[in-house]
Chains A and B, each alone.
Chain A
Amino acid sequence: MKTLKRLSTAALLGMLAVGACVGMSGCEKKQPAAATTPSAGTGTKTNAATPAPAGDAKPATTAAAPVTNKKNLVIGVIAKSTSNPVFQAAKTGAEQACKDLAIKYGIEIQCKWLTPVDEDAAKQAQNLEQLVSQGADGISISCTNADTLTSAIDDAVSKGVTVVTFDSDAPKSKRMAYYGINDVECGKAVMRELAKAMGDKGGTVAILSGNQTAPNLNARIQGVKEELKSLESKGFKLKDTYYTKETPGDAAGLVQQVQGANPDIAGWAMVGGWPLFTQNALDNVNAKVVSVDTLREELDYVKAGKVQALIGQDCYGWGYESVRMIVEKLVEGKNPPGVINNFELAVVTPANVDQYYGKWEQWLGKK
């Protein structure tokens, strides 16, 4: 009996070990396909013969790193969470940028994706330190909490790593540049489109937001409110701002409950599209809806006429442009402007929704 028990334990252990091995090797096989430099880690090719030139002159306090003649670069990308599809688009963009720029400059560029599974600023700081320790040359990051990451970013910069933020900035840090939308303008655009969809006749508007601590969402709320204020004379008024966990199920449930309790709500200004990632978030909702982001699931709502407009962000560009800025800085010494947020915001309506389907295929690396 005892032997049997031992045997079964050993068998269980063996299965676990095999499972772990399969899992690991599966990932390892996947890595070269996703990364840009197959099988060429930083360790396989050495640059011992080419010490970083003028490295001793590296200033400790500014972001200006010396122009390198390194033949392979390691760029780390840290988004907020792996579970949000917008960051998968950023990942595709970053990887594509590494591929394109490697060809352009004739060097090897390795793209390291080190995003926490769930949003956790402390975990992001840890990953950032790990990347620096593993010899990354540049890091592109979307900050879950700017204050928590400021000191880690400053440390990385003082060690000669070029840091660019995307989507969510850390304005007090020594990062070289920020690439993302102007969130106040984004909020205003949402309210403008919503007013249009409501026929400019006025009505009660509710705002849907996610994490109460996210500065970018709060800036969008501010934008919605500012635009709403200017429309007060036309009879638009705010019901309230509703916060949800940033998971589709919770968000959809909240919208249904709020709408059920407040049938007078005639318009929803969603500063993030969480409920629309489910199929039936608007089943009993007769209000007009305008939301941020243009994910595939959201496009379906527009096509079905249940959502009147979507305001698009350049999720792919978060990755692509931030990596491009880092590599251009490292290779050419090119200095980007500190903050890039003056894009034309894309407005998706039933009229032009079809052309956006293809874009997402490309953004998620399926084309």
Chain B
Amino acid sequence: MKALNSNKLALSALVFILLLIGAAVAAPWIAPFPPEETFFDGLTLEGAPLPPNRTYWLGTDLLGRDVLSRVIFGAQTSLIIGIVANSVALAIGTLVGVTAGFARGWIGSALMRFTDLMMCFPALLLAIVLAAIFTPSLWIVALVIAMVNWVQIARVVYTQTASLAQRGFVEAVVSLGASSPRVLFRHVVPHLMPTIIVWGTLGIATTVMLEATLSYLGIGVQPPTPSWGNIIYENQSYFATAPWLVFIPGAAIVLMAVAFNVLGDALREALDPTLAHRRGVGHDR
């Protein structure tokens, strides 16, 4: 917290994230209209979307629905997918990484070879194939993203576990006769928490971007359920005449991803200075 305090950028990111969570939770009360309701006066006489005005603050979309309400409810979708996909990815990644780093032997090397293999997988292509072939629902999209994102976490956790396993204190508890699960969960995993927290935060940014990309291709969360990506997907043919339909949800995606990236980066510095160069991101400030 102290490190966050000294970093104004990270602090504002945290405030933004809290506001976003607040808006997502309170969506039914703060959204001016139901997100899926189409309005007769929401389109021009020619049937085109309305620009931002007094009734519809951020304008209306191609079906005459209120964009502001859809964006607010879209925050729900993004956060749910962000949290679910990321938790699953963290769980798989940590489990694989810890097991491989601690067990060594053939289990360890088999798991890591498999992870190496997954690193060579064209991830986006894989996600698109999976999402296109299943009928995409919120949960399928979250799972698809998790299937793609666990790999890097597994690698990082593996490296950390492998070095932890050689440290004196682990040797000490092993020689005192502690059982393997006890050594792992009482002594090794707590040391991994900073890494897990940092990757969990950064991972939400990646997840939000990937969800938006899948939705933009039409294979993410399906309309009428609003997601920032599918608002753009549905309205992209109007982008020349009604650019707000693309840029308002676009800005929402970017803001959310920036906030989680900034916060994750600050947490990395605060929690674990040895992580600085991983993922090709330098330490700053």
A-B interaction: no
